[in-house]
Structure 1
Amino acid sequence: MTNQPPTLRPNAVPTGRVARFARMGGLATGLASRAAVGRAAAALRGERPDMAALMLTPGNITRITERLAEMRGATMKLGQLLSMESEDVLPPELAKILARLRAEADAMPPKQLKSVLEAVYGSEFRRKFNSFDPQPLAAASIGQVHRATAADGMRLALKLQYPGVRNSIDSDLDNAAALIRWSGMWPRELDIAPLMQEARRQLHEEADYVREGSYLRRFADLLEDDTRFIVPHHRPDLSTRDALAMSFEPSAPIEALSEAAPAVRDRAASALIELCLRELFDFRVMQTDPNFANYQWRAETEQIVLLDFGAARDIPEELAQGHRRLLQAGLEGMRDDIMVELAGIGFIKPDLSKAQRDAILDMAELGFSALRGAETFDFATSTLADQLRQRGQVIGQERELWHIPPADTLFLQRKIGGLYLLATRVGARIDLPAIARSFVR
């Protein structure tokens, strides 16, 4: 099986701060005018208008989603980062927008794609490649990926950054944050400022493909002797800050594992969970984006291809040790220590009431129960995720508990949660207790 490029809708990326501001300003003006009509209608009915409800109509949801996906860059990445926060405390309409922004973006039309290639490689860019497929393999918030063949015959996956993305990061974020605050889409009890700061930092990092290339090489070195994984070979001679060239690794979407023999999918899912813990405790560097598209499956060799290291980040030693102590406390059922370590990594607010502490501890205990069993954990039949979701919805109703953890903790928890969903998707059975114990000895 090989990678098959999806059919992506061509849509030019607006370039330049003025053009991007105009798109956002036009969106805000349109939403405001529709909200004004809604307020007038509510007043005629003698009703008190709800600003958030007027903003998040089905039509407006579609308009907001399409415009942010069209903008790509910072606005789309901000939506993805906001979706990391528990959807239990977000309006379902906003959750719907964020879910769309986690999917693939539109692709650049041919004319804009050519201009990008010329800007990166010069007007004679064709000489650097024996072939270049204009149909992208994938399109995301920062750039899109194409298949190509280098002049020396090496098959490549070439990631090209959208034009104007890097220079518009700060202004895009300011404009998007103003729209979110003005519209009332974001709960007032949650401070959006830390996420905005993190989005700014991460976007500037992800827009630097030289940085991503360094993490690509770093993971290749770390996993050189682990035959379960394939990390593409970096081609620095064809890479710049705006283009990242690497070997093309034939593979299929990771979801294809669900069709494999039970023992095969169990081994693969176990390898991914073990890798996550190695990244945290041994490597002290983690690829923090759990998007399923970042993992591919090579059935003929039973190997996992690892992709996209733009969201890779070093793990502070203090955070790694805090999670190790939390894991130890969870395995031993030490409730007081669990609470201390949850507070230590910033996952919960300090100075909670006893009732609030007990509610959070009960939820933590439920999660750790999967690590203390004597048998393998069956992701396909387990109801643990539903139980945790139900507990989370109850806790989410208490606004005093609303809290956004520090960025490092938030990204780490997102990675763990994403791998849980992946193991569930492929129906794996994994000896979680054995894996967990191996990292606390």
Structure 2
Amino acid sequence: MAQESNYKTTQSHLPESRTSRLLKLGQLASSVAGGAVTEGFKRILSGRDKSAPSLLLIPENANRLAEHLAELRGAAMKLGQMISMESGDLLPAEFSKILERLREDAHHMPLGQVAMVLDSNWGKLWERQFKRFHFTPIAAASIGQVHEATTKQGEHLAIKIQYPGIRNSIDSDVDNVATLLRLFRLIPKELDLSTLLAETKIQLHKEADYLNEAANTIEFKKRIKSIKGFRIPSTDLDRSTHEVLVMEYLPGRPLDQLASDPELVRRSVAERLVRLALHETFCWGTVQTDPNFANYRYDSQSDLLGLLDFGAIQFYEQHRTQAFNHLLQAALEGDTKQMELAAVDVGYLDEQAPDRYKTAVIELLKCVTEPIRISGEYDFANSDLMNRMSEQAIELRLNQKYWHLPPHDVLLLHRKLAGLYLACVRLKTKLNVRALAVELTI
């Protein structure tokens, strides 16, 4: 009954209890410390810099951290992903680059653990309902992994199975990993993680409830009917539980495999992605905030773009959506004063912000909204926008005495828009983003 897939990951037994997960983190701490000692002796012999922070931030330690977090999965891995995405500009280049692996790589469960989770949720005789069940996953991420299966009735399914013990370990994982990062100074001391940690716990508890994701999927499927060219899988609520999500299998290739497709295809897919993101943010107030390329599957036969993974949905209240629209309109009109007022509404600025800080924030927002502000086609493939944004973000964070962190739901939107930009870059497309944005304001 077991079938193989083309998906390549490392298989490892997932530590389930809080004690075993804490022991894993302890092993990581010892490994990092040992790596620093070894590097210290090397530098003593060579006469190079022997400062503690530089010893801890060597690539070998970053590799150890990424590997251990990928093995633990769950909140530990998710926190590494979020720190990489939200704070990459403040991290040493080698460390940030290695942490980026956590956005895509995860170990997967051995067959025994897969069967254990399914036995617990479906009963001992669950195999009888399937003609084929692929025990090797077709995808693995921080909270669960996805298996392909065909029922005896011929239903082609994608089944997301949550790693055992993940939901019960969320809070302790987040606290323990944060302590470890602080202890070894693997993140800058000026980076305040308190808000990020609290919001991460809330978000992960939502993402770890697969019935909640099923409801999100159904809601998003209703909204997507107003836009052509997309497909969202049907959800099997009868077979789904808090730990197992059963959906229709969608064929197709992830975005990163479309780079060599004809320009017409790449442009079409990019335009759909931008139009969808604009509707999510400025019309619906319902945003899928996980920008992983694997969450989009293009089927060339049907010319439909499949949308997957609705655990990370952010629902924005009307006042927040109105603030986003205020900022969009100001950017389209090039009105700096209105951009400043909108920045206050969104939460980028508060009344105490000094003029110099306000100016720096508005300049950064002008940079971010460049594809919308520029008339005609925007050349994503040859744009240096991300580099300019990084430089301005670093200057804003490190050279300003005053610092105001935007609300967490706004930071999640940053992640969405950054993923959208990178998708357009990967698709090597030119697109009239301004025209698509104007469609919403007419």
Amino acid at match of 2:320: L
Give the Cα–Cα distance (whole angstroms) in 1 for the partners of residues 33 and 387 of structure 2: 38
CA distance in 2, matches of 1:178, 1:256: 38
Q: Is the 8 A contact 2:31 2:64 kept in 1?
A: no
Counterpart residue number, 1:425: 426
2:56 corresponding residue in structure 1: 55
Partner AA of 2:303 in structure 1: E
Given that 1:138 and 1:144 are in contact with CA atoms closer than 8 Å, whether structure 2 keeps it comes out as: yes
Comparing 263-272 and 186-195, the one that deviates more: 263-272
CA 76–271 in structure 1, closer or farther in 2 if over 3 Å, else same: same
Paired residue for 1:231?
232
SS of residue paired to 1:83: helix
The aligned residue for residue 321 of structure 2 is 320
Matched, 1:275 2:280: no
Whole-Å separation in 1 of the counterparts to 2:281 and 2:369: 18
Q: Give the Cα–Cα distance (whole angstroms) in 2 for the partners of residues 259 and 326 of structure 1.
A: 35
Q: Kindly tell me: are residues 358 and 98 of structure 1, through their superposed partners in 2, closer, same or farther at Cα, counting changes over 3 Å?
A: same
- Residue 386 of structure 2 corresponds to 385
Deviation of 1:200 (Å): 0.4
The aligned counterpart of 2:181 is 180
Q: In 1, are the aligned partners of 2:250 and 2:297 still within 8 Å (CA)?
A: no
Matched, 1:165 2:166: yes
Return the TM-score normalized by structure 1.
Answer: 0.92
Higher mean C-alpha displacement, 197-206 vs 95-104: 95-104
User: Post-superposition shift, 1:392?
Assistant: 3.3
Counterpart residue number, 1:65:
66
Aligned to 1:372: 373
Q: Summarize deviations over 1:377-419 as a string: whole Å, max 9, x none.
A: 2222333333333433443441536554211100111111111
The answer for the alignment partner of 1:214 in structure 2 is: 215
- Shift in alpha-carbon separation, 1:393–1:4, aligned structure 2, 3 A: farther
Residues paired across the two proteins, number: 439
Residues 358-391 of structure 1: CA distance to partner in whole angstroms, max 9, x if unpaired? 3333333344343233312222233333333343
Shift of 1:184: 1.1
Structure 2: distance between partners of 1:98 and 1:124: 40
CA 1:175–1:383: 2 relative to 1, 3 Å:
closer
Supply the AA of the counterpart residue of 1:199: T
CA distance in 1, matches of 2:46, 2:353: 43
Secondary structure of residue in 2 paired with 1:153: coil
Q: Given that residues 15 and 164 in structure 1 are in contact (C-alpha distance below 8 angstroms), is that contact kept between their aligned partners in structure 2?
A: yes
Q: Which runs of 5+ in 1 are unaligned?
A: none
Question: What is the letter of the counterpart of residue 163 of structure 2?
Answer: Y
Give the structure 1 partner of residue 407 of structure 2: 406
SS in 1 for 2:164: coil
The more displaced of 416-425 and 256-265 is 256-265
Q: CA deviation at 1:309?
A: 0.5
User: How far did 1:199 drift?
Assistant: 1.1
C-alpha displacement at 1:311, in angstroms?
Answer: 0.4
SS at structure 2 position matched to 1:149? strand
Structure 1 pair 349–96 and aligned structure 2 pair: CA distance change class (3 A): farther
Q: Which amino acid aligns with 2:85?
A: M
Residues 264-301 of structure 1 show CA distances to partners (whole Å, capped at 9, x for unaligned) of 32222111111111112222211111111111111122
Provide the rounded CA distance (Å) in 1 between the counterparts of 2:392 and 2:88. 13
Q: Does 1:257 pair with 2:258? A: yes
Q: Provide the C-alpha distance between the structure 1 equivalents of 2:386 and 2:47, rounded to a whole number of angstroms.
A: 44
The residue number in structure 1 matching 2:117 is: 116
Output one character per residue of 1:333-377: Cα deviation in whole Å (capped at 9) or x when no partner: 111221232233223566444344333333333443432333122
Mapped to 1, the partners of 2:33 and 2:405 lie a distance apart of 29
Aligned-partner Cα distance in 1 for 2:400–2:355: 16
Q: Is 1:151 paired with 2:118?
A: no
Cα 1:384–1:42 change in 2 (3 A) is closer
Whether contact under 8 Å (2:76, 2:174) holds in the other structure is yes
Q: Cα RMSD between the aligned structures?
A: 2.5
Q: Check conservation: 1:104, 1:138, Cα contact below 8 A.
A: no
Q: Secondary structure at the match of 2:426?
A: helix
Q: Give 5+ residue unaligned stretches, structure 2.
A: none
Deviation at 1:39, TM superposition (A): 6.9
Verify the 8 A CA contact 2:35 2:60 in the aligned structure 1: no
| Contact map agreement 1:135 1:146 (CA 8 A) in 2 | yes
2:355 corresponds in structure 1 to 354
Residue identity matched to 2:268: R
